[in-house]
Structure formats: structure tokens, C-alpha cells
Structure 1
Amino acid sequence: MPAPVESSKKRKSVKNGGAPSKRRAVAEEDTFAETLSKIQELENQITESRKHYNNIATLISMLNVEPSAKEPELAVAVSLCRVFSRLIAAGNLTESNRAAENEKIIVAWLKERCLEYQRALMAIMREADPTSQITALTLAMRLVKERITHIPGADNNIWATLFKDIVTAVVEANNGQDLQTEFVSKFVKEFEDVRFFTFVQLAEYADVRRSPETLDTLVSILSSCDDAPAADHEFESFFVPRETKTKQLNSVNAHKKRAQEAWLAILRNNLSQAQRKNLLRIMVHNIEPWFSRPELLMDFLTDSYNVGGATSLLALSGLFYLIQEKNLDYPQFYTKLYSLLDADLLHSKHRSRFFRLLNTFLASTHLPATLVASFLKRLSRLALNAPPSAIVVIVPFMYNIFKDHPTCTFMMHRTIRDKDVAADVEKHGMDDPFDNNESNPTRTNAIESSLWEIETLQSHYHPNVAAIARIISEQFTKQAYNLEDFLDHTYQGMVESDLGTGERVLRKTPVVEYQIPKRIFTDRLLEEDGGVDSGPAAFLREFWDF
């Protein structure tokens, strides 16, 4: 019976398959230990004698970054960093004018090998796995420190060459989120000289048109930096120890100027609509504090304000800051602000932010009553089609505005003194003098109108909305409402407040119909007297065939 025997052999082979794996693991450990021993031997020989300098080329070839940097030998990279750090500290990479020709040749050869090693580190940072990327970053920054510390006059040159390559590799790294986080947290935030030259290099890098993905990385790095230093800030934390303090690195204005240049380069670049919105969200807290001349943001903010929609809403706070603090002249500000009051506003996720700013914009008692009345009337008109969570913001907001602008309060109640006109209005009604299509808020005739829309909302299907709408019809005994108590309401939250806390006790049975009809699709005359089909339901019956 050969088949079962063969099957048994196969099962035995599978069962005992773990033995070769153990042997393979032991072999790999032995190979790794042998490699480490060889690396250490080559490194020790370089330290002992100059005649073993060729070992540097051997170690570089062992880095495994020629075809690809995805699987580098990190042990070799660390060993080479130690080698070059010793050589730099000993002055072996510094060329003197009095040195012999063969000495100059050796120094030039060492410099070339050092550049080759630096290029390998940059390749690892761009292409390797996150752990290797972070290791390469640490080694590269170690070289920056050693070269600036031990090579006279190399300060500006190293920041402009090696450090520039590091920043470029960090920005362009594949799957480099961990690398960028490490760079910001361990170097940019910790050391003020690193932050200063990071601003310098990012400004230069962003001066060229970049892809949207690259711009996202630049914004992420810049916005992750610490807050702008105060005017009396003392600069003490430096990556490279300094015996003499340079003027630039110890100047608050110099740091802010470099950050300002970096942000401006990004704002002038190839920004998508989503990126523009993101920048506007962080404008006040992350960008403007770094600007020693905030007026340079004027073009970006005014262009964003003129786009319309959510972009304009997000640009409001930054633009108002320039108007208030820097005396920016924007004569059509309130006209543009009035144009933002459209049907989409009350459904926007930026609604709360807009009402906070609008409350600030309309707080001045020097604004003309015609302008304020237009905003009140437009909001009340929009409230007719607004979600309940927006209506509960509009009514307290209007209450506060009426308190600040008492000349508009007669919009809540108008008495027609002419008896003939009053009789005609009662019989035929009247047209609303408010011009909803007028773009200029001073010409809408809103001051001649009334807030009948709010009275309509007093019959709203949602009881909370109906209750809050009634405050306009009551005496204004309250000084003001805290708008923050109403801004973050959502429709879901309003429903849960009614249904999520147990059974609600009803004071009275809710009314389903005001008048219960006896018939729906037939008129009494038509049904009982056989009259002509011309009653009120005739139009409705045209849609069905009975």
C-alpha cells in the first residue's frame, strides 16, 4: 500500500518542519555576529592607522544602498558615523595651506568618502523603513554637530548644505510621517538654532512650485513648531554649543522673519482649495503670531474672503484681525459679510464660528441702524428654512443685537396709525418692503419691515424652537443671552435631550390636527348636490382618477 506510506512521509516532513527553521535562525545569528565582528575590526583598524583608510570605502560598500536603500545595514551606518566623527574631531578633514601635496590628496579623498556617506544617509531617510529612517536622521544630525563644532568657519556652510539635504530628505521621505514627527519633536522643538535654519530651508524649498502632497507635509512641519517667542525671550537651547552668541540666532525678530518667509512661500505656492481652508483654520493661532508684518497676509486673506462659501467664512477671523489691529482698509467688508448670509450658511459646519465673529462685527454702536436691520431681517428670513439647531442660535443672537441697537427694536412690532391704511392691510394684507435680492445692506429697506418670520417660528414643530422664538414677543427683561450656550446644539442632541433621559411627562396631549376634516378628496356641494367640479378640491383631484 504505497499511497498511505507516501502520505505518512509527507505528514512527517510537515511535522518536523520546525527543525530546519531553528537551524536557519541559529545560522542567521552566527552570520549577524560575524558581520558585527568584521565591522568592528574594520573600524578599529581605521582608528589605529591611516594606512587602513581604505576600510572606509569597504564599509560604505557594505551599507547596501547602491541598488536600493530599503534594506540598509544600520550597524555599518552607525560604525561609519563614529569613524567620521573621530576624523572630524581630529582635524583630518581640514585642509591647511602648508600641508604637503599627499596630505591634501588624503584630505580630499576623505571628504569625498564623507559626502558619499552623507548621500547614503539621505537615501536611507527617503526610502527605508521608519526605524531606519529615524536612525539615519540621528546619524546625519550628529555629523552636522561634529562638523560645525570642529571645523572652523563651517557654520553657515554646513547649515546651507548638509542640513539642507536633511530637511529635503525629511520632507520627501516615503511614508515619512514617523520621520517628520521625530525631526520636529527631537530637533526643531528642542533646539532654537535648528528651528531657525529649518525655517530658512523650508522657505527656500517652498519657493519652488510643489505638489499638494509635499505642501501638506510642509504645513504639518511648520504648524507643529512651538509658539512664536515673546519679545523678552531668552535663547538658551542650541544644538551646537556656542562660545559666542550670534546676533541672528539670539534675535526674536530674526526668528519671526524667517518663519514669516517660510509661511509666505507656502501661501504663494500651488495650494488646493482644501489646503487653503486648512491654512485659514490655523491662521490666527499658528501663522499670524510668527508674522512681524501681518499686513503681508492681506492679499491671501482678501483673495480667500472673495472666494465665497466656507472659504470666506474661514477667512473672516484673520481679515478682521488685520482690520482691527493693523488698520487694514476694506471698505466693502460689511457688504461682503452680508453676502455670506445665504441658505448654505445655517447648514454649514462652520456656523458656530461665523456667529461668534458676526457677534463681534455687529457689536459696535456706531454702525448705522439700516445696516444692522438688514442683517437681522436676512437672518430671520433664512430661519424659515433653517434646521432647529440653527434657529436656537439666531433668536438669542437677535435678542442681543436688539439690546445693543435699540433703534431697531420697532421691527418687532409696528402699529399703522392711519386707520384707512390699517383697514386695507387687515383686509388685503401688505407686501414686505424688504428687498431680499439687494446686495447692499444699507439699501434693503429692512428698517421698514418687521420680523414676522420669527413670529411664524413660534408655531414651529419642535417645541424647543417654538419656546425660544417666543422670547422676541416678551418683555426684554434679560440683559443678554450667553451665545455660547446655544452655538453647539445639533439636531441629534436636541432629540436626545427629549428622548434620552427617560420618559418625558407631557403636560397636555399634543394636537395633531387643528380641525379634523370630514372629507378629504370631495367637496360637500359636489358630493351632496351633484354640483359642478369647481370646489377647493378640484385642483387636487386632477392628479388622480377616481
Structure 2
Amino acid sequence: MPAPTVKPVASKKRKNVKEAAVPSSKRRAVADPDRADATANIQELEDQISESRKYYNNIATLISMLSTDEAAKKPNMAVAVALCRVFSRLIAGGNMTETSRAAENEKVIVAWLKERCREYQKLLLSIIRESDSSSQQITALTLCLCLINERATHLPGEDIQVWSSGLFKGVFESVVEATNGQAVLSEFIEKTKEFEDVRYFTFMQLAEYATTERSSETIDLLISILSASDSVPGPEHEFESLYTQSSQKNKKVVSVNSQKKRAQDAWLAILRNNLSQSQRKNLLRIMVHNIEPWFNRPELLMDFLTDSYNVGGATSLLALSGLFFLIQEKNLDYPQFYHKLYSLLDADLLHSKHRSRFFRLMNTFLASTHLPATLIASFIKRLSRLALNAPPPAIVAIVPFMYNLLKEHPTCALMMHRNVRPESLKAQLEAEGMDDPFDPSETDPVRTNAIESSLWEIETLQSHYHPNVAAIARIISEQFTKQFYNLEDFLDYTYQGMLQAELGTEDRPFKRTPVVEYQIPKRIFTDRLLEEDGGQDTAPGSLVRELWGFA
């Protein structure tokens, strides 16, 4: 190269004149020839390995260039890519396959190549774990998968071993344990969604990895990997999207039952691990659509669902749909289902963000006309009692729900008719009061005596301060001419929505003038105004004035 004789002179002149003013991008451009020389050197070493076996020591040279002290965080990816090409050629050419008739020196060479390949694989895994650059982590992941493909395709006996206990196991663990590894995790998830054999062996590795108790952050990563695999293969599914051709010969990989079995084992390992409360709730939310379809034996979920159902609060609400699915579709027996469902009806439920979800589920649970009237009456009465202290958006959903139950179960209409009394009886009740036979402390919905009670709570709500609540409460006192109410029209009401509905009707006249204070009072806590000049008020006053100073 003739340039070196001129280059030092030019660089010496620039150094004194205006090197400090050169932008960083220009300074990097000046160093490009050195980078080009390094790239050419790497390419030359790679080409020599392809030419003759006498240059195999170049492999150790390339590995030494990659395995520096800062290689994991700031690796030379050009060397890593060159080594991947080198080992791919050696594997495909049979140079890393040991035959029984090979000479002793051939066996030594093959053993040496395998050792260098393992050393290279460890470096790639360390890059995935520790690199500061997400692009370098993704590149190292791609190189690992390329090696897996070559080993599974060309090395005899490694079509399963490289996936189950070989390189892929290290890849999975490195991706999960990578620092700042969100990007490489997303890339790995895309591979599991695209290739069905990668997904199969991911299930296998995850089930084994999750048998050991893991941290909450690690469990979140494992759940995200499993949740991404939401397309369950059907009975007639044909496995065509495979990363390695050798997977087509593996009957377990291309079997729907085997795929579901691996996913089932992986989910069970997660469910049996150290789950936090938020993780348990997240799993319950996706139970019916993402988890249960993967199970060949859904009854294995029974323990997890019943334990979650017994926790109480929002966790029990989220466990309802999964538990009811097992009861309805898989004929599993849970005798205390309605007993537990009744216990979930409390004041906290009507203020919960899961209120709409609960009403949708309860509408399904109580839809059967074969349920006893005493049971339905208990739910109606419990809801009417809770409505007394419920927020208006909850009452708006409760009353139509009760209407539909009364329509489906005419026997419970006696509770409604008991609200209609002669004037003489009304006067007597107002004077002497009434004992409600309903027992709110009874936990068994069949023994609450709700069927002997009445719906006086709903009649009370007809005088509610909110006009919409009062109007909808009156449907219980009117003739039941409507077949049923669509519950979805009432479940998503909020304070903000109800307020906007009132404020949005500016042209609607008031039926009566609202009662407001038209004159601001001059005093509240004192019997006489305090003197404006700071004098003391000597008039007798309340205890509040004695304890507080209002000057």
C-alpha cells in the first residue's frame, strides 16, 4: 500500500492547525482506514481457514480477538460473524464429525475444533447476557440460532441434544437473565411465534427453568414469553413453519398433543412458582383465553383456581370465569361455588374496578332457570341491600340486573309484591316499624329467608338524590312489560359519564327549581360576628368555637 509514506506528513500538519475544530464524525472518518484494515485482516484469516486445514490456528486467533476483557460489553461483532461463518462451513463440510475409522490425529483435530466451538458459543452467550448494545445482543442471538440450525442439520445425534440440553438451553437462560435485555427478549419472542419448533423447545426449557423458585422480575419475563404464544394449534394443524428441517422428522415437535403437553408443563411450572399477588391476578385475567386452551387436562388448573377463589376480593372475582369454565365445560364438581359467589357480594365489590366484569360473569352464572328460587332470592335481596350504600353508577347496573332475574324467576316476584300495601298497613308500619326476615349475616344463600322478605330498599331508592337513579329504580314498581334489559347498556356507567349526560342537555328545562342557598351566611360557628378590628367575641358559643380559633 503506497499511502503510508504520505499519510504521517499530512496528519502532522492538521494536528497543529485545526484538529481540535474537526467534528467527531469527521475524526471517525479519518480512522476508517484502520477499521478497513482490521476488517480485511479478519476476512483474510477467515479465507485462509477455508483454503487449508493448516490455517486452523486462525480460529484460535479470531477467538482471542473476540475474547478480550471488554468483549462481553463491547464485542467485535465482525469477528463474531466471521467465526459463525467459519464454524458453519466446518459443520456442514463434516470437519467436526468424528468417524470410527478416523486416524488418531483426525480425532484430535475434531476434538480441538469442538472445544473451540464451545468456547465461541460461550462468548456469544456472554454477549447476550452482558452487552450494552441491544443490536449486538440481537446479533449474537441470531448467530446462536444459526449454529443451532447447522448442528441440528449436519451433526448426527444433535438434532435433539442441541435443543434440549445444548446451545439452545444456554440461549434461553441468557435471554431471560440478560441485563437491559428487553430488545433481545422481544426478538426471541418473535422467533417463538414464527417457528413452531423454537416454540416447542422454548416450552421445554421454560418448564425446566421455572421448577426452581425465581424472582418476581424473572417470573414476569417467563409469563410474557408464554403469553405471546396465544395461537393454539387445532387438531388438524399442519406444522410447516419450522426453523430446522430436522424438526420435521421429530414426531413430538410436529404433534399437536406434544406441543400442548409442553405448554401445559410450562404453565404449571409458572403457577407453582413464587407468584406475587399482581402476577396471580394477571394470570387469572388471561386464564380462559390464553392458558386453558393449551391444557390437555384442564382439571390440573383446579387447585390454582380454587386457591385463588378462596383468597377473596378482586382475586376471587378474576378466578370466577376460569372456575366456571371448568365446571361448565369439563364437568368438574365444586359444590360451594354459589356459596362462595354469594360471599363475594359486599360493599367493596360495588366500588371495585372489576365491578362490570363481575356483573357480566354473575349474569352468566345465574342464567339457568333450574336454580332454586331461594338461591336467586338471596342474590336479589343482597344486591338490593347493598344498593342502599352503593355509588350511583353501580345502582344503575343493579336495578336492571334484578329486573332480569325477577323476569326469569317469577316465583321471586312475591318479594316485589310485598312492597304494595294498603294505606292502613302503611300507616301501621310507619308507626311501629317492620322486622325484615332477611338475615344478612347468614353465609348460606339458601338459608337467608330472602324469599320471605321484600324489596323495600329499591322503593327507598326511588327517592334517590340523583334523578337517573330514582328514575331507573321506579321500573321495579311498574308493570313488567319489557322482556329484559340489555345489561351491557348499564355496566359501563361512571360518575363522569352521568355528569356529562346531565351537563350536555342544556336546552332541557328543569322540572322544578333546585334548592340552593341564595344568600351567603355571615357566621356559621359563632353566635355573634367577631369584631373586624380584632376584638374578642364574648358571647357564649359552641364547643367547636372553644376548641378552634376563627380569628
- TM-score between both structures, scaled by the size of structure 2: 0.88
Q: Percent identity?
A: 69
Partners in 2 of 1:318 and 1:77 — Cα distance? 48
**Aligned-pair distance for 1:419?**
11
Gaps of 5+ in 2: 1-15, 518-522, 525-540, 547-551
Partners in 2 of 1:20 and 1:331 — Cα distance? 77
Instruction: Please tell me whether the aligned partners of residues 498 and 504 of structure 1 are also in contact (alpha carbons under 8 angstroms).
Output: no
Match of 2:157 among 131, 153, 158: 153
Counterpart for residue 129 of structure 2: 126
Q: Against the structure 1 CA distance between its residues 34 and 504, is the aligned structure 2 distance closer, same or farther, given a 3 Å change threshold? A: farther
Partners in 2 of 1:263 and 1:230 — Cα distance? 19
Q: Kindly provide the CA deviation profile for residues 132-169 of structure 1, in whole angstroms up to 9, marking residues without a partner as x.
A: 11100100000000011111221111112111111111
1:362 pairs with 2:371: no
Instruction: Please tell me whether the aligned partners of residues 193 and 239 of structure 1 are also in contact (alpha carbons under 8 angstroms).
Output: yes
Counterpart for residue 96 of structure 1: 99
**Aligned-pair distance for 1:246?**
2.8
Instruction: Please tell me whether the aligned partners of residues 152 and 246 of structure 2 are also in contact (alpha carbons under 8 angstroms).
Output: no
Instruction: Please tell me whether the aligned partners of residues 65 and 123 of structure 1 are also in contact (alpha carbons under 8 angstroms).
Output: no
Secondary structure of the structure 2 residue equivalent to 1:460: coil
Match of 2:478 among 474, 478, 500: 474
1:456 pairs with 2:455: no
Q: Which moved more, 1:193-202 or 1:290-299?
A: 193-202
Q: Which amino acid aligns with 2:152?
A: I
Counterpart for residue 192 of structure 1: 196
Instruction: Please tell me whether the aligned partners of residues 190 and 237 of structure 1 are also in contact (alpha carbons under 8 angstroms).
Output: yes
1:223 pairs with 2:235: no
Q: Against the structure 1 CA distance between its residues 201 and 34, is the aligned structure 2 distance closer, same or farther, given a 3 Å change threshold? A: same
Q: Which moved more, 1:305-314 or 1:425-434?
A: 425-434
Partners in 1 of 2:18 and 2:94 — Cα distance? 61
Q: Which amino acid aligns with 2:228?
A: S
Q: Which moved more, 1:419-428 or 1:328-337?
A: 419-428
Q: Against the structure 1 CA distance between its residues 204 and 407, is the aligned structure 2 distance closer, same or farther, given a 3 Å change threshold? A: same
Match of 1:33 among 36, 55, 70: 36
**Aligned-pair distance for 1:225?**
1.1
1:142 pairs with 2:143: no
The residue correspondences of 1:72-471 to structure 2 (distance < 5 A) are 72-128=75-131, 129-160=133-164, 161-185=166-190, 187-242=191-246, 245-414=249-418, 424-471=428-475
**Aligned-pair distance for 1:503?**
2.2
Counterpart for residue 484 of structure 1: 488
Q: Against the structure 1 CA distance between its residues 117 and 243, is the aligned structure 2 distance closer, same or farther, given a 3 Å change threshold? A: closer
1:43 pairs with 2:46: yes
Partners in 1 of 2:478 and 2:410 — Cα distance? 15
Counterpart for residue 524 of structure 1: none
- TM-score between both structures, scaled by the size of structure 1: 0.89
Instruction: Please tell me whether the aligned partners of residues 342 and 382 of structure 1 are also in contact (alpha carbons under 8 angstroms).
Output: yes
Q: Which amino acid aligns with 1:107?
A: V
Q: Kindly provide the CA deviation profile for residues 239-279 of structure 1, in whole angstroms up to 9, marking residues without a partner as x.
A: 11149633212211111001000000000001011100000
Secondary structure of the structure 2 residue equivalent to 1:250: coil
Partners in 2 of 1:175 and 1:227 — Cα distance? 28
Q: Against the structure 1 CA distance between its residues 471 and 203, is the aligned structure 2 distance closer, same or farther, given a 3 Å change threshold? A: same
Secondary structure of the structure 1 residue equivalent to 2:245: coil
Q: Kindly provide the CA deviation profile for residues 180-233 of structure 1, in whole angstroms up to 9, marking residues without a partner as x.
A: 111121x21111111111111111111111111111000000000141111111
Q: Kindly provide the CA deviation profile for residues 95-120 of structure 1, in whole angstroms up to 9, marking residues without a partner as x.
A: 11111111111111100110011011
**Aligned-pair distance for 1:543?**
6.1
Partners in 2 of 1:331 and 1:215 — Cα distance? 33
Question: Across the two proteins, how many residue pairs are aligned to each other?
Answer: 511
Q: Kindly provide the CA deviation profile for residues 482-515 of structure 1, in whole angstroms up to 9, marking residues without a partner as x.
A: 111111111111112222x36242242334289x
1:503 pairs with 2:512: no
The residue correspondences of 1:46-85 to structure 2 (distance < 5 A) are 46-64=49-67, 66-67=69-70, 69-85=72-88
Q: Kindly provide the CA deviation profile for residues 335-378 of structure 1, in whole angstroms up to 9, marking residues without a partner as x.
A: 11111011110111111110011001111111111111111111
Q: Which moved more, 1:288-297 or 1:321-330?
A: 321-330
**Aligned-pair distance for 1:293?**
0.4
Instruction: Please tell me whether the aligned partners of residues 96 and 113 of structure 2 are also in contact (alpha carbons under 8 angstroms).
Output: yes
Q: Which amino acid aligns with 2:486?
A: N
